[in-house]
Amino acid sequence: MSEGTSMVSDENGTDFSQDETGTLEETPVDTILSQQTSVNLVPFICQRFVSQDSAYEFYCSFAMQCGFSIRRHRTRGKDGVGRGVTRRDFTCHDGGYPQMKPSEDGKMLWNRKSSRCGCQAR
C-alpha cells in the first residue's frame, strides 16, 4: 500500500483502498493477505517445535499462505508405554481417500461425502 493510501471496510466486510483523492477501489484479497503476512513461512527438513500445537499453528499458517488447508494425520512415538510422541504428521486436508465400510449385503459403501481426493502434499 502506498504512503497516501488507507484501507476502508464496508459493513459487509469488503475491503476498499482509499487514495489521497478520496476515490475508493476494491482491493483484491491476495493483496490484503500479502500485506498482513509480514513473515514468509518456509518449513525445512528436521524442523523442531516446542509443542505439537505450535507445529500445527505453523503448518496451518504455511498452508494458508500457499492456498490450502491441513489436518493432523498420524503420530509416531517411542517404544513402550508413556514414552511420548516423537513425530506428528500433517497432510493436506484433501489427502488420502475416504474409508469404505461393508454394508449388510456385503457391498462396500462410502461412509459419507468427503473432499478427500488423494492429494499427496504432506
Give the tens place of pLDDT for each residue, 64-116.
887 777 777 766 666 656 666 666 777 766 666 666 677 777 676 656 665 55
Scan for cell 489521497, then name that residue.
20
Which whole-number Å values give the CA distances from 60 to 57, 71, 90, 122, in the listed order?
5, 8, 9, 12
Could you tell me the pLDDT band of residue 5, with boundaries at 50, 70 and 90? very low
**Structure pTM?**
0.44
Q: How many domains does the chain fold into?
A: 2
77 and 42 part of one domain: yes
Is 106 a member of any domain?
no
> Residue 2 CB: number of other CB atoms within 10 A?
8
Its domain, for residue 71, covers: 38-97+116-122
Is 105 a member of any domain?
no
59 and 89 part of one domain: yes
pLDDT at 32: 47
Phi first, then psi, for residue 81 (nearest 5°) are -80, 135
42 and 31 part of one domain: no
Is 103 a member of any domain?
no
pLDDT at 35: 46
Determine contact, residues 38/23, Cβ cutoff 8 Å.
no
